């Protein structure tokens, strides 16, 4: 057996130290995944800090209810209902109410309009807006005339059901105020529509008698 020299003893000491270090890491268990950041505890907040108190004479602003909008559209997009804290709006595609380029109601249109009338009766508004819209095909003036005629017809149906205690505002806007992209037929179909909107929860008892119709001139 060869004699151990000082150099040999030094080498063995180093190897022994490495073995101990390796064993120590193995006993510590798995390390944290890369990118793991240990979150620090939340800072302590002094409830009596002057920066958390209102200045002398200051008051909190009145509480404000945010205007929340709810939109429900049937699978075919034929009918769309939009509810906010203030208003209810129904949008019916023209194809479910009228034949193409016509202001004569389809046979099934009356039941859809009656459903809107029933909702109006429940909300008891004093004013109902009936607005007609078209897509951007054809001339603007033709669209204005057609959208106004269609709004007039829907107004007439609603007025027969609701009686004379509501003031109607009737407009025809042609291709103005699109709700979809006119570059596709699907979008144009949504833009060809009649909208019926009214304030939510108004009282009809505050309204005067008689029914008035405000109209745009084509």
Name which of 215, 173, 217, 210 is nearest 195 in CA terms.
173
Q: Which residue has the tokens 């939340």?
A: 42
Confidence of residue 209 (pLDDT cuts 50, 70, 90): very low
Q: Which of the residue ranges 10-14, 95-99, 131-135 would you say has the lowest mean pLDDT?
A: 10-14
Question: Could you tell me what percent of the chain has a pLDDT over 90?
Answer: 52
Average pLDDT of the segment spanning 112-126: 95
pLDDT: which is higher, 162 or 22: 162
Looking at residue 70, what is its pLDDT?
Answer: 85
Higher local confidence (pLDDT), 12 or 189: 189
% of the chain surpassing 70 pLDDT: 72
On the question of pLDDT at 10 being above 50, the answer is: no
Q: What is the pLDDT of residues 80-96, one digit of tens each?
A: 899 998 999 999 999 99
């Amino acid at each position: 057996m060869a004699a151990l020299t000082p150099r040999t003893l030094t080498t063995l000491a180093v190897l022994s130290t490495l073995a101990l270090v390796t064993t120590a890491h193995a006993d510590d268990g798995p390390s944290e995944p890369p990118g793991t950041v240990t979150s620090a505890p939340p800072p302590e907040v002094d409830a009596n800090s002057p920066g958390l108190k209102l200045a002398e004479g200051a008051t909190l602003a009145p509480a404000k209810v945010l205007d929340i909008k709810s939109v429900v559209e049937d699978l075919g997009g034929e009918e769309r209902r939009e509810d906010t804290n203030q208003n209810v709006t129904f949008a019916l595609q023209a194809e479910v109410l009228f034949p193409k380029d016509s202001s004569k109601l389809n046979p099934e249109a009356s039941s859809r309009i009656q459903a809107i009338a029933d909702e109006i009766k429940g909300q008891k508004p004093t004013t109902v807006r009936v607005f007609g819209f078209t897509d951007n095909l054809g001339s603007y003036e033709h669209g204005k005339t057609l959208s106004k005629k269609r709004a007039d017809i829907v107004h007439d149906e609603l007025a027969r059901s609701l009686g004379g205690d509501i003031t109607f505002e009737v407009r025809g806007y042609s291709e103005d105020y699109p709700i979809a992209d006119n570059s596709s037929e699907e979008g144009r179909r949504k833009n060809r529509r009649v909208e019926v909107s009214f304030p939510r929860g108004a009282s009809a008892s505050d309204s005067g008698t008689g029914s008035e119709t405000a109209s745009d001139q084509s």
